[in-house]
């Protein structure tokens, strides 16, 4: 079965030097957590073969920090993923039908909404929030519902706030 990994960017600065949201970068915790989550995914055998990344600086830095643990992935920066809606995220995922394990690195609230939609509004209560540097791993079942396999959070693996 194909897998879809929704990876929210790691903790970012409150404001960028320019004041533009698009240019906010990761803070120190974000850089650590993004690298940690790359390692967590690799150790779990969940390395993606294709990664779609929002062009926002914080999303790009998240992938750059995670990438050393996941080096074999083909990466595409997709402008439409910046603050993407559930529908835009779903369209991006559908556009990669040959990916065995697709990762999307993007933003809330779209990622959380897409995760809830995939899981049928989270009947098991595993998606109450989608914090920074979290990765939701789904098994896709063709036209049927997706199954949430893992909700991985940096704080559960030694990351998060000190």
Whole-angstrom Cα distance, residue 40 to residue 152? 8
Query: Per-residue confidence at 121, pLDDT binned at 50, 70, 90?
Result: low
Full residue range of the structural domain in which residue 143 is found: 3-157
pLDDT at 122 over 80: no
Q: What is the pLDDT of residue 152?
A: 96
**Average pLDDT score, the chain:** 93
pLDDT tens digits, one per residue of 13-38: 999 889 899 999 999 999 999 999 99
pLDDT higher than 80, residue 89:
yes
Hey, which bits of the chain come out as E strands? 3-8, 50-53, 74-77, 101-106, 135-139, 147-152
**Is the residue at 111 inside a domain?**
yes
Confidence check: pLDDT of 126 > 90: no
Q: How far apart (Å, rounded) are the C-alpha atoms in residues 139 and 7?
A: 15
**Within a domain: 123:** yes
pLDDT in tens, 149-159: 999 999 999 99
Dist CA 64 CA 71 (whole Å): 10
Local confidence band at 113 (pLDDT 50, 70, 90 cut-offs):
very high
In a domain, 88, yes or no: yes
Sort 22 into a burial class: Cβ within 10 Å, 0-12 / 13-18 / 19+.
middle
Q: Estimate the crossing angle of helix 28-43 against helix 57-66, to 10 degrees.
A: 50
Q: pLDDT-derived band of residue 123, with 50, 70 and 90 as boundaries? A: low
Confidence of residue 65 (pLDDT cuts 50, 70, 90): very high
Report the CATH number that the domain containing residue 42 is assigned in CATH.
Answer: 3.40.50.1240
Q: Is residue 142 part of a domain?
A: yes
**In a domain? residue 162:** no
Structural domain total, the chain:
1
Q: What is the mean pLDDT of residues 98-120?
A: 94
Is residue 68 included in any domain, yes or no? yes
Q: Which comes out higher in pLDDT, residue 102 or 97? A: 102
Q: Is residue 140 part of a domain?
A: yes
What is the value of pTM for the model shown?
Answer: 0.95
Dihedral sign, Cα of residue 71, residue 47, residue 43, residue 117:
positive
Q: What span, in angstroms and rounded, lies between the C-alpha atoms of 26 and 104?
A: 18
Judge whether 14 and 26 are in contact, CB under 8 Å: no
- 129-144: pLDDT as tens digits: 899 999 999 999 877 7
| 55 found inside a domain | yes
Q: How many CB atoms lie within 10 A of CB 116?
A: 18
């Amino acid at each position: 079965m194909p897998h879809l990994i929704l990876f929210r960017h790691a903790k970012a600065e409150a404001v960028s030097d320019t004041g533009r949201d698009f240019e906010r970068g990761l803070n120190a915790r974000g850089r650590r957590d993004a690298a940690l989550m790359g390692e967590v995914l690799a150790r779990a055998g969940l390395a993606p073969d294709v990664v779609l990344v929002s062009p926002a600086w914080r999303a790009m830095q998240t992938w750059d920090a995670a990438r050393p643990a996941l080096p074999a992935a083909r990466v595409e920066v997709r402008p439409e993923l910046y603050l993407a809606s559930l529908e835009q995220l779903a369209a991006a995922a559908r556009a990669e039908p040959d990916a065995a394990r697709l990762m999307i690195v993007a933003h809330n609230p779209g990622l959380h909404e897409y995760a809830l939609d995939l899981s049928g509004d989270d009947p098991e209560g595993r998606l109450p929030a989608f914090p920074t540097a979290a990765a939701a791993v789904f098994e896709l079942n063709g036209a049927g519902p997706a199954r949430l396999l893992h909700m991985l959070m940096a704080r559960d693996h030694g990351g998060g706030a000190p």
